[in-house]
């Protein structure tokens, strides 16, 4: 990119703001220049001009340095002026010329950090540290790169650095960010105060510290932070003072507030590309598609390397392939005598809207009715439900990057999730995911986005278990293992298990722990206490205060209660965990070698310890196989039924169970099993055809209509038959007009269809 | 004049056309070289089923010719096609090729005893036949190569429909398409318009879906993708079943003609659906369908 007088300050700021956050969940990397103790004096002089907000003068200062004889100075100046490609090339040449210079490698790593490539940056810092294990600038750079990855490595490294260099400003800032993320505001303040003192003594610009101070104020609901004013006094175009703060709104689900803060960021600094990008992404979360597009396009023009911007712009293009289907949810709050309504928009891909919408609608309307009553909250805005058949589109919608393992996310009144076709059949229970996300809408909105992460996740998990379409607790083996290894966090620190996991499955463990806490509160204190806690969170109370006010105990006591609750519910499997797992493992070995008697014996022993387990490697499917192999069909069906009753949902096994039940003449039970498949893997023509006919036969005409309409959406081979069945269902409901329309649609496709002709004659009363 | 009357007028030509249509319906079914006992047996069985099915609508049983084993040698094929080419009474001509095909990047070959016959040679044989409509079903591996060789445009020999089991010559594995095509001819499942008559479009649709579904169920990448090229496959009857078949001699021709006329009026109505108000469309459709139901009842009564 060439620099000219019209674009100069734009590219300059691109470079100077290059440390902007890459992802919502990642803390900001650091502004490199200020914390480089070996920075060349000529560059430092230009930095100071920029820090005072004299942009044009700063361009004039950096420009001649591009032609410096020193490759490293030329690279730095080029970078500062925004040409990161050229800067990269110059760093490469500089490192080739001085391969033993660790500082150069550290600076090159910083360039990668600034261009949203922490995984490229980390190896350069590591190389620098091989050359000089004590190079602080490389250590802090590595810590910044590691902060973008899950795990405790970054925190560990920062702890080490802070012992060796207790006054290092950059380290103090990163530590403060971590504390802010988990709302440890006092600890953050202490770190920032130390950073201020240190920065002053080293003549380092305090702007970044002010930005974090302002963030802490924002988290305390201080409207006009003195730190914002101080920052803008030094540099009126310092958009980071708002941009940095927006991150803390975002990780607390406060998208509306984040958008307002981001608007201020681009107002004071219209070339803050990362702020434009985040503004666009978050406007999209608020369903302002046009606004999102505008800011994302601005961001792209300024910084085409930001993958979040590029991915989200691509996603916007794919939204054209979606259809908005409108419906209305009816609910009644406790104590109200009348129903209220709220509009619901189902945004579904055009290829699956027709077959999926009946189920999305049914579950959404049921959830609104259920949660309005259970949480005494009336939705105040239209609810938007988006389902993405392409998982990467959903991932971009969620965190602006493909390849994440999430299933659903709620931004307030808008929720997005994988559609059932977004994953292999049976890989997830989409009905439960939708139920989970819909519960979030209520907890997030009732608390005005103020609840802690653990609470909203806990309520959603608890609702999945108790009121969702797949009843029963579904606790994975590795979570049981974590419980048996005492890895649960104290409730007051539970948010860190979601935001900054320190071991691989800690997020899942935290979900389950949160779910168990909410279930326990409901069971021991009553469900209404969960609602009361939301009210406390809305009053800006934290976990400790809310627990004390509503439950009358400390969080430490709550932790003790949880331990007892877990003992009560999972005591046997926790105490015999190793034995139970060994039994499962031996059972599967026996399955491999067809030792069916052994399989049965081991499975039964395992089930005595933990009969509810229907997850991966469950005993029930092995038992089923064993009984089938022995020709004991009745026992095989029996164990499959037990598995189903405990919440097993593998679609092929459910189809098999339904088939067997039908063979036994237990049609109603078979229908119940088939119905459950709709919430796992509804993309199946035979399923809807069978269910539709079953419902029609037993007079459940509405359910039959849902099934046949869904079936039409899957484009079956013989549509005329489906229309005829729809006509029968409507006729049974005395809806003659719809019955006639459907029978005519049958005849339109199959004019010689005698059964349809007969029904038409009957419906029109024409017997001529 | 209401929509129904306009349709009736528009369809006068259809009645005339149908009333004079008593010409021959000729079918040739060729079972190629199996290469193994299993395939030979399968191909012969498919070919026999097709011949039996098509014989149901032939004016005389001899209008359906089944060639298998040494009878499918190239010189015999050429002689047979030359003989058929002399006939001028053919309304519909169908040719079914069942077996293995190959494609070397340049030429398609249908594998038969002795020298194989190439796609170009097949096209030449088919072009000799004088018929109003032609159906060519190449149900072999690599048969998609014929899409570029056998013309479905305006023929001097009449309108041609081409069905291939694969989308190009590169799909070379043995195909499942004929198995499902035969299944389509054996029952009412493929008859989506429920007229007791199975058309070329219906066998294609049925077999194509069944192949797709097979590979989807088996979680395998489909190595064959059938293609249908040409117009009017919907109206190209291949076989019949039910009352239409069992009592075709007892049903008065007038009823059959009226039924055809109404069906044609329906086709015209459907083609105009976008241009007509929805309620008017369904009102007209209702009138038409009630008339058709009445005719259908008379047909059923006459066949009792």
Phi and psi, residue A471, nearest 5°: -75, 165
Determine how many CB atoms are found less than 10 A away from the CB of residue A22: 22
Cross-chain Cβ contact A750/B193 below 8 Å: yes
**Residue B55 C-alpha, separation from nearest chain A C-alpha, in angstroms:** 23
A40-54, A317-331, B41-55, B89-103: which range is least confident on average? A40-54
Mean pLDDT of A61-78: 93
Per-window interface: B 172-201 vs A, CB < 8 A? 189, 192-196
Among A378, A414, A323, A429, smallest CA distance to A648 is for: A429
Q: Shortest CB distance from B285 goes to which of A748, A750, A768?
A: A748
Alpha-carbon gap, residue A505 to A511, rounded angstroms: 10
Domain limits, CATH 1.25.40.10, in chain A: 1-180+189-205, 576-683
Beta pairing partners, B96: B29, B137
Q: Are A406 and A396 in contact (CB under 8 A)?
A: no
Q: Shortest CB distance from B285 goes to which of A717, A744, A768?
A: A744
Question: Which CATH fold topology does B22-240 show?
Answer: Rossmann fold (3.40.50)
With an 8 Å Cβ cutoff, the interface of chain A facing chain B consists of 717-720, 740-741, 744, 747-754, 756-758, 760-761, 764, 766, 768
**Residue B14 C-alpha, separation from nearest chain A C-alpha, in angstroms:** 17
Q: What angle in degrees, to the nearest 10, is found between the helix axes of A118-131 and A102-114?
A: 170
Q: Quote the ipTM score.
A: 0.79
Alpha-carbon gap, residue A17 to A362, rounded angstroms: 47
> What percent of chain A is modeled with pLDDT above 90?
73
Query: pLDDT, tens digit, for every residue of A239-252?
Result: 999 999 999 988 88
Domain limits, CATH 1.10.390.10, in chain A: 320-569
Query: pLDDT, tens digit, for every residue of A664-716?
Result: 999 999 999 999 999 999 999 999 999 999 999 999 999 999 999 999 999 99
A13-17, A210-214, B72-76, B151-155: which range is least confident on average? A13-17
Query: pLDDT, tens digit, for every residue of B151-210?
Result: 887 556 568 999 999 999 999 999 999 999 999 998 788 999 888 889 999 999 999 999
Question: Which CATH fold topology does A320-569 show?
Answer: Neutral Protease; domain 2 (1.10.390)
Nearest CA in chain B to A719: B192
Residue A446: C-alpha distances to residues A191, A373, A492 (Å): 33, 12, 21
pLDDT band at A8 (very low <50, low <70, confident <90, very high): very low
Is B20 buried (19+), middle (13-18) or exposed (0-12) by CB count in 10 A?
Answer: exposed
User: A747: which chain B residues are within 8 Å (Cβ-Cβ)?
Assistant: 285, 289, 292
- Per-residue pLDDT, A304: 85
**Is B293 near chain A, with CB under 8 Å?**
yes
Among A514, A456, A460, smallest CA distance to A489 is for: A514
Alpha-carbon gap, residue A698 to A700, rounded angstroms: 6
Beta pairing partners, B240: B197
pLDDT for B297 beyond 50: yes
User: A752: which chain B residues are within 8 Å (Cβ-Cβ)?
Assistant: 193-196, 259, 263, 292, 296
| Angle B47-B89-B133 from CA coordinates, rounded to 5° | 60
Residue with tokens 């119905």: A675
Q: What angle in degrees, to the nearest 10, is found between the helix axes of A41-51 and A55-62?
A: 170
**Is B121 near chain A, with CB under 8 Å?**
no
Determine how many CB atoms are found less than 10 A away from the CB of residue A57: 13
Alpha-carbon gap, residue A87 to A733, rounded angstroms: 73
User: B193: which chain A residues are within 8 Å (Cβ-Cβ)?
Assistant: 720, 749-753
Residue A644, sorted as left (phi over 0), alpha (psi -120 to 50) or beta, turns out to be alpha
Tokens of B49: 């089923």
**Residue A758 C-alpha, separation from nearest chain B C-alpha, in angstroms:** 7
Query: For every residue of A265-305, which 3-state class applies, written as one string?
Result: HHHHCCCCHHHHHHHHHHHHHCCCHHHHHHHHHHHHHHCCC
Tokens of B134: 């032609």
- Expressed in angstroms, the distance from the first to the final Cα of chain A is 83
A158-167, A390-399, B71-80, B83-92: which range is least confident on average? A390-399
Beta pairing partners, B31: B98
pLDDT band at B247 (very low <50, low <70, confident <90, very high): low
Q: Are A122 and A154 in contact (CB under 8 A)?
A: no
Pick the CATH number of A1-180+189-205 from 3.40.50.2300, 3.30.450.20, 3.40.47.10, 1.25.40.10: 1.25.40.10
> What percent of chain B is modeled with pLDDT above 90?
58
Cross-chain Cβ contact A751/B292 below 8 Å: yes
The residue ranges of every structural domain in chain B are 22-240, 247-302
User: A754: which chain B residues are within 8 Å (Cβ-Cβ)?
Assistant: 194, 296, 300
Alpha carbon A549 to its chain's center: 30
Query: For every residue of A450-488, which 3-state class applies, written as one string?
Result: CCCHHHHHHHHHHHHHHCCCCCCCCCCHHHHHHHHCCCC
Interface A-B: count of C-beta contacts within 8 A: 67
Mean pLDDT of A643-652: 94
For the domain made up of A576-683, the CATH class stated in words is mainly alpha
Alpha-carbon gap, residue A412 to A408, rounded angstroms: 13
Residue with tokens 């001899």: B62
Query: pLDDT, tens digit, for every residue of A72-127?
Result: 999 999 998 888 889 999 999 999 999 999 999 999 999 998 887 888 999 999 99
Phi and psi, residue A327, nearest 5°: -150, 180
Among A410, A484, A405, smallest CA distance to A441 is for: A410
Q: Which stretches of chain B are assigned E, i.e. beta strand?
A: 24-31, 64-67, 90-99, 101-103, 108-110, 117-118, 133-140, 159-164, 197-199, 227-229, 237-240
**Is B232 near chain A, with CB under 8 Å?**
no
**Residue A284 C-alpha, separation from nearest chain B C-alpha, in angstroms:** 36
Nearest CA in chain B to A751: B193
Beta pairing partners, A327: A344
Which of A424, A716, A719, A752 should we substitute to test contact with B (largest number of B Cβ atoms within 10 Å)? Answer: A752
Which of A751, A759, A767 should we substitute to test contact with B (largest number of B Cβ atoms within 10 Å)? Answer: A751
Alpha carbon B187 to its chain's center: 15
Nearest CA in chain B to A754: B293
């Amino acid at each position: 990119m060439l620099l000219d007088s019209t674009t100069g300050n734009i590219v300059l700021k691109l470079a100077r703001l290059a440390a902007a956050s890459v992802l919502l969940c990642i803390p900001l990397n650091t502004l490199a220049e200020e914390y480089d103790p070996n920075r060349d004096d000529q560059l430092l002089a230009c930095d100071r001009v920029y820090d005072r907000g004299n942009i044009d003068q700063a361009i004039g200062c950096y420009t001649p340095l591009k032609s410096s004889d020193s490759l490293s100075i030329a690279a730095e100046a080029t970078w500062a002026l925004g040409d990161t490609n050229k800067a990269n090339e110059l760093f490469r040449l500089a490192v080739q010329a001085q391969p033993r210079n660790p500082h150069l490698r550290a600076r090159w790593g910083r360039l990668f950090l600034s261009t949203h490539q922490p995984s490229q940056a980390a190896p350069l810092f590591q190389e620098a540290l091989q050359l000089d294990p004590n190079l602080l600038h490389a250590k802090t750079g590595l810590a910044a790169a590691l902060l973008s990855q899950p795990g405790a490595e970054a925190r560990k490294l920062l702890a080490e650095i802070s012992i060796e260099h207790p006054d290092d400003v950059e380290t103090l800032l990163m530590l403060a960010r971590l504390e802010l993320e988990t709302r440890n505001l006092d600890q953050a303040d202490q770190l920032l105060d130390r950073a201020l003192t240190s920065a002053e003594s080293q003549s380092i610009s305090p702007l970044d510290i002010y930005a974090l101070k302002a963030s802490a104020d924002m988290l305390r609901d201080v409207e006009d932070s003195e730190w914002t004013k101080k920052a803008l006094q030094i540099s009126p175009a310092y958009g980071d003072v708002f941009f940095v703060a927006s991150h803390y709104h975002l990780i607390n689900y406060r998208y509306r507030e984040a958008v307002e803060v981001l608007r201020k960021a681009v107002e004071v600094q219209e070339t803050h590309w990362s702020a434009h990008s985040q503004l666009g992404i978050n406007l999209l979360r608020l369903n302002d598609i046009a606004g999102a597009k505008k800011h994302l396009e601005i961001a792209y023009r300024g910084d085409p390397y930001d993958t979040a911007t590029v991915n989200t712009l691509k996603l916007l293009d794919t939204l054209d392939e979606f259809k908005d289907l409108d419906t209305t949810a009816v609910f009644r709050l406790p104590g109200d005598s009348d129903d209220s309504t709220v509009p619901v928009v189902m945004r579904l891909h055009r290829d699956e809207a027709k077959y999926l919408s009946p189920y999305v609608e049914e579950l959404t309307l049921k959830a609104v009715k259920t949660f309005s009553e259970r949480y005494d909250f009336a939705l105040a805005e239209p609810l938007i439900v988006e389902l993405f058949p392409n998982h990467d589109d959903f991932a971009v919608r969620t965190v602006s990057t493909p390849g994440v393992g999430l299933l659903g996310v709620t931004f307030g009144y808008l929720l997005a999730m994988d559609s059932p076709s977004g994953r292999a059949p049976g890989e997830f229970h989409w009905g439960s995911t939708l139920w989970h996300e819909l519960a979030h809408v209520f907890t997030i909105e009732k608390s005005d986005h103020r609840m802690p992460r653990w609470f909203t996740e806990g309520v959603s998990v608890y609702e999945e278990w108790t009121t969702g379409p797949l009843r029963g607790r579904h606790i994975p083996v590795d979570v049981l293992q974590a419980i048996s290894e005492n890895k649960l966090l104290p409730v007051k620190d539970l948010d860190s298990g979601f935001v900054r996991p320190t071991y691989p499955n800690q997020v899942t463990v935290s979900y389950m722990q949160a779910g168990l806490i909410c279930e326990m509160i409901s069971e021991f204190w009553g469900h209404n206490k969960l609602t009361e806690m939301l009210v406390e969170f809305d009053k800006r109370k934290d976990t400790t205060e809310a627990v004390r006010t509503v439950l009358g105990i400390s969080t430490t006591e709550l932790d003790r209660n949880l331990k007892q609750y877990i003992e009560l519910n999972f005591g046997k499997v926790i105490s015999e965990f190793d034995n139970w797992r060994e039994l499962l493992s031996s059972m599967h070995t026996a399955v491999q070698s067809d030792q069916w008697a052994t399989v049965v014996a081991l499975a039964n022993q395992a089930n005595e310890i933990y009969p509810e387990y229907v997850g991966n490697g469950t005993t029930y499917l092995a038992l089923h196989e064993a009984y089938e192999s022995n020709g004991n069909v009745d026992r095989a069906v029996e164990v499959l039924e037990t598995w189903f009753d405990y919440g097993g949902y593998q679609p092929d096994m459910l189809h098999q169970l339904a088939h067997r039940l039908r063979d036994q003449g237990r049609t109603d039970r078979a229908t119940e099993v088939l119905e459950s498949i709709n919430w796992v893997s509804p993309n199946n023509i035979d399923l809807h055809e069978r269910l539709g006919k079953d419902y029609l036969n037993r007079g459940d005409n509405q359910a039959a209509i849902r099934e046949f309409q869904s079936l039409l959406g899957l484009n079956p081979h013989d549509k005329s038959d489906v229309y005829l069945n729809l006509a029968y269902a409507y006729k049974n409901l005395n809806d003659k007009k719809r019955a006639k329309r459907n029978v005519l649609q049958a005849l339109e496709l199959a004019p010689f269809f005698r059964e349809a002709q007969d029904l038409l004659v009957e419906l029109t009363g024409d017997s001529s | 004049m209401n929509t129904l009357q306009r349709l009736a007028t528009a369809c006068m030509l259809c009645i005339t056309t149908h009333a004079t249509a008593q010409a021959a319906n000729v079918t040739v079914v060729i079972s190629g070289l199996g290469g193994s006992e299993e395939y030979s047996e399968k191909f012969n069985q498919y070919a026999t089923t097709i011949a039996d099915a098509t014989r149901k609508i032939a004016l005389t049983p001899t209008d359906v010719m089944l060639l298998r084993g040494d009878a499918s040698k190239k010189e015999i094929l050429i002689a047979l096609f030359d003989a058929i080419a002399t006939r001028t009474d053919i309304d519909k001509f169908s040719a079914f090729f069942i077996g293995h095909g190959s494609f070397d990047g340049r030429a398609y070959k249908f594998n038969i005893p002795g020298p194989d016959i190439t796609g170009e040679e097949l096209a030449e044989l088919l072009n000799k036949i004088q018929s109003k409509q032609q159906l060519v079903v190449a149900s072999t591996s690599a048969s998609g190569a014929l899409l570029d060789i056998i013309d479905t445009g305006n023929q001097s020999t009449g309108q041609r429909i081409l069905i291939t089991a694969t989308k190009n010559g590169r799909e070379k594995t043995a195909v499942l398409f004929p198995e499902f095509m035969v299944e389509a001819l054996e029952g009412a499942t493929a008859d989506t318009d429920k007229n007791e008559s199975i058309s070329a479009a219906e066998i294609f649709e049925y077999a194509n879906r069944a192949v797709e579904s097979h590979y989807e169920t088996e979680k395998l990448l489909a190595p064959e993708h059938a293609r249908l090229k040409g117009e009017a496959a919907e109206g190209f009857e291949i076989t019949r079943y039910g009352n239409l078949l069992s009592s075709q001699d007892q049903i008065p021709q007038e009823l059959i003609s009226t039924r055809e006329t109404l069906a044609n009026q329906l086709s015209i109505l459907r083609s105009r659906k976008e241009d007509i108000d929805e309620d008017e469309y369904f009102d007209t459709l209702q009138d038409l369908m009630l008339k058709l139901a009445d005719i259908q009842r008379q047909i059923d009564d006459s066949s009792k």
